[in-house]
Chain A
Amino acid sequence: NAGVTQTPKFRILKIGQSMTLQCTQDMNHNYMYWYRQDPGMGLKLIYYSVGAGITDKGEVPNGYNVSRSTTEDFPLRLELAAPSQTSVYFCASSYSIRTGTFYEQYFGPGTRLTVT
């Protein structure tokens, strides 16, 4: 049981390049999330998914796209990278069996992205 895994661990992009951050969970969680964490700051929600085929915007979605074709995978796509997207990106997953009851949320190890 690996929990939440993310690849790559580090990446440097040039302005205007694109990339996909991969996230996989093996806990059969229905909810998955993407956050960014800037130095000394808290976590900001980019996108989340309530199940395969269903995604929704979080607090800071501009410049990102997601898809959820399976329960396990939730990739984050950066199109036309900008310096403002330099950050640490965390994927997380959690489980909810009915509206209003959310259980533990587990995080991946993060992807450190620099855009220059």
Chain B
Amino acid sequence: GQQLNQSPQSMFIQEGEDVSMNCTSSSIFNTWLWYKQDPGEGPVLLIALYKAGELTSNGRLTAQFGITRKDSFLNISASIPSDVGIYFCAGHSNTGNQFYFGTGTSLTVIP
């Protein structure tokens, strides 16, 4: 199945720094979702996007639905130690019945 290209694969940052990651697809999507997964846990939905150009925030997290509808971006401002985890994107096109997932970005925050 289609897999979304997510970058970077991993990030090591200092506490307080901002973080940016993105996801690209070869197909046009109608829905973009961003998740965080902690070790041994299920993915937790952070932000959902439904319109091209849409910018949505959830606390220190901000995500954008790309204008081309083939990409999405997630930013985390002023990172803290509990931001550590794996972040991944998911997208859904206007055809078919399944979501496609990114390969994940592993975030490490150094206190």
Contacts of B30 in A (CB 8 A): 100-102
Bound together, the chains give a CA A110 to CA B38 distance in angstroms of: 12
Residues of A within 8 A of B (CB): 4, 31, 33, 42-45, 48, 50, 56, 58-59, 90, 94, 99-110
Interface residues in B, total, Cβ within 8 A: 27
Closest residue on chain B to residue A102 by CB atoms:
B92
**What 0/1 pattern do residues 3 to 24 of B give for CB contact below 8 A with A?**
1000000000000000000000
Residues of B within 8 A of A (CB): 1, 3, 30-31, 33, 35, 40-45, 48, 50, 88, 90, 92-95, 97-99, 101-104
A102–B43 touching, CB < 8 Å: no
Closest residue on chain A to residue B43 by CB atoms:
A107
A108–B42 touching, CB < 8 Å: yes
Bound together, the chains give a CA A99 to CA B92 distance in angstroms of: 11
Tell me how far the C-beta of A35 lies from the nearest C-beta in chain B, rounded to whole angstroms. 9
Contacts of B98 in A (CB 8 A): 33, 45, 48, 58
Known: A43-B101, A56-B97, A58-B98. A103 touches B1 (CB 8 A): no
A105–B33 touching, CB < 8 Å: yes
Name the one of B1, B90, B93 contacting A105, with C-beta atoms under 8 angstroms.
Answer: B90
A105–B45 touching, CB < 8 Å: yes
A45–B33 touching, CB < 8 Å: no
B48–A104 touching, CB < 8 Å: yes
Question: Which of B3, B30, B98, B104 has most A Cβ within 10 Å?
Answer: B98
A110–B42 touching, CB < 8 Å: yes
Bound together, the chains give a CA A43 to CA B86 distance in angstroms of: 13
Contacts of A110 in B (CB 8 A): 40-42
Bound together, the chains give a CA A94 to CA B45 distance in angstroms of: 12
Contacts of B95 in A (CB 8 A): 100
Name the one of B33, B41, B42 contacting A104, with C-beta atoms under 8 angstroms.
Answer: B33
A48–B42 touching, CB < 8 Å: no
A45-B1, A105-B45, A105-B99 given; 16 more Cβ-contact pairs under 8 Å: A4-B42, A42-B88, A42-B101, A42-B102, A42-B103, A43-B43, A58-B1, A58-B98, A94-B99, A104-B48, A105-B90, A107-B43, A107-B44, A107-B45, A109-B41, A110-B42
